[in-house]
Amino acid sequence: MSEQQLEVKEFDHPPLPKNWLRTVVIIWLGQAASILTAYSSIYAGVWFVTETTDSALMLALASLCSMLPQGLLAPLGGVVADRFNRKYVLIAADAFVGTMALIMGMIIAMGHVSVPLVLIMGALRSVGQAFHMPAMESTMPLLVPKKHVVRVNTMNQSLWSMALVVGPVLGIFLYTVVGFQMVLFLNAAGCAVACLALALAKIPDFHDDSDEARHPIASLKAGFATLSADRGLLILCGIVMAIMAMYTGINSLFPLMTYDHFHGDGYAASLIEGIYGAFSLVGIAILFIWGGGKRLLRVVAFSGTFSGIILIATGLLSPSMFFWFAVLTAISGVVESMYNGPLLAVVQKRVPPEKLGRVMGLFSTVTALSSPIGLGLAGTCAEFTGVAMWFVISGVVVTAGGLAIGLLPSLRKLDREVAATFDEIDVRKTNPTVENAVE
């Protein structure tokens, strides 16, 4: 079978740093300090709200405060990432979060702790993330060879998985033993380590210096135009939003599934969370060693489809089958960990690097704003359907989304085009007849 020749155009990339692996490791270690201490302070805040109010509504409000600012401001964060030196944007974002944690810790140490203060703390951290994530996700592809982009995304994802395992334990332990303010001081120290690591890392200064980029509104419109002009990416964005909305809701219902459906206790709920986090690290290790191959959307489609099937199977378990609930949770930890890394790599390879910050900002908005939608759906609908049946319904939606990613012609075309960018140069396909290319 012959493969049709494709017309391509190159993207301009800065040369890779000579010691690119050293640079990536330095950044990763700094971000590990920041993320792990941030999650500890987040869970300490959740525990404080739980102890103080014993209100599901207040916990939902705390979650909203930690998500909404990032969702609303991420497009602006993308504009800033493309306009200025991304290294300094990252340092400024980490420094902002660390400074806010330090100030909040000092206020709490003076005896002025309150629920509104915790909500403000979560919102300010979310503001910092709105500028940090687009800058980080648009910087990492400039630091590594193209064949390692998925591996680097996977390394970054491993931080969040480790935070899910370590954060609750460390945060609640420190909150109980040394006090809330010490958790925040630790978070400030972690952010300082991240800033130092970024200062030491040799990150190329690659930004958009066009006249368009100097005007925030015009720059933001250019980001929308870049995403809208790519039909495959636009469709992918819509599917991802639907999947993320369902998964956010499901994640919030796991403790309730353990308590209500399987009649478990707090130990059982903690066990399920620990199993998921630990096996997520297993999946991340597999993806890191493998690299994801070239057909990245096939990996995303497999992860989404299989994850949905697991949700359906979980919802159909009887209350006496807690062991199989744990087994399915472990499998889902492995499978779901193979979703984000390849998905980010598709966007990173598809978009010109000088506009990548803006597009990643828009993707961050999609994922962040899907969270309140998912939480609202899960909280409302599960009251009528029951928690187990909502697992089944969510599983059907997630499975359909995974199948759509793997089967839609426009996304199969996108997958073929992205696969070609693993060559020695980064390219973007412009031939409209590529959809008929033979795999």
Question: 247-263, pLDDT tens digit by residue?
Answer: 877 876 777 788 778 88
* Residue 3 in domain: no
* Residue 1 in domain: no
Asked if residues 197 and 30 have their Cβ atoms less than 8 Å apart, the reply is yes
* Residue 200 in domain: yes
* Residue 377 in domain: yes
β strands within 292-333, DSSP E: none
Enclosing domain of residue 76: 8-436
* Residue 199 in domain: yes
Per-residue pLDDT of 279-309, as tens digits, reads: 888 888 888 888 888 888 999 999 999 999 9
d(CA 31, CA 22): 14
We report the CATH number of the domain holding residue 395 as 1.20.1250.20
Residue 427 has pLDDT above 70, yes or no: no
Sign, Cα dihedral of 330, 335, 336, 341: positive
Residue 47 has pLDDT above 50, yes or no: yes
Residue 65 has pLDDT above 90, yes or no: no
- Total number of domains constituting the chain: 1
Per-residue pLDDT of 307-319, as tens digits, reads: 999 999 999 999 9
Average pLDDT value for the chain: 80
Burial per residue of 169-198, b for 16 or more beta-carbon CB atoms within 10 angstroms, e otherwise: ebbbebbeeebbbbbbbbbbbbbbbbbebb
Per-residue pLDDT of 387-425, as tens digits, reads: 889 899 999 999 999 999 999 999 998 888 888 876 544
